[in-house]
Amino acid sequence: MISCSSEEENPFLITANQVGALNKTVKINQLDSIFKGDSIVRQTSGPETLRSTDEIKIYDKDGTPLLSLEPLQEFDSTSTVGYIRILDPRYETKHGLNIKSTFKDVLKNYNISRIENTINSAVVFLDEINAYVTIEKTQLPSSLRYDTDSKIMASQIPDDARIKYFMIYWN
């Protein structure tokens, strides 16, 4: 039987409101049913440790890391997903942006909302898809590497700079 749709639904598509099977309304306590064929690892640690985290990692059946998630409200299983770190290059936007992309791919396909200068990286915000990507400062001109006060312009980031983190945020 031939499908009426000429384009298969991409199970790894990233949009402003969706990352694969996840969307903005999915609650943390629904993850087991959404990723029933995959492995879910909850890395919770509370106030008794120095680092408070409620990170959830999703691995496929072969053990390949797919996503790292954090709830919008910490330590609340009824909270929706707030932050998603993309770990698998199969997850991509309609323009093909994924964790293996370069800054040139970002520039060619998206409007940069702002760039923040942090200690180790330039954080490039793409508000139209509720995302940000980080570029390590080691890939930037030496004049920007040790300076957290300067404003980093898109023109100062080399086209071939690789994305270190690809994050989706929902609130």
What residue segments make up the domains of the chain, in order of their start? 13-86, 95-166
Sheet holding 114-117, edge to edge: 39-45, 53-59, 65-71, 81-86, 165-169, 131-136, 121-126, 114-117
Q: What is the pLDDT of residue 151?
A: 95
What average pLDDT does the structure give for the chain? 90
pLDDT digits (tens, 9 = 90+) for 152-169: 999 999 999 999 999 999
- 3-class DSSP state for residue 27? strand
User: 6 pLDDT band (50/70/90 cuts)?
Assistant: very low
Residue 8 pLDDT > 90? no
Q: Which long-range contacts (CB under 8 A, 24 or more apart) does 44-52 make?
A: 44/75, 46/75
Q: What percent of the chain has pLDDT over 90?
A: 80
Q: Tens of pLDDT along 55-85?
A: 999 999 999 999 999 999 888 889 999 999 9
Is residue 138 within 8 A of residue 145, CB to CB? The reply is yes
Query: What are the backbone dihedrals phi and psi of residue 145, each rounded to the nearest 5 degrees, phi first?
Result: -65, -35
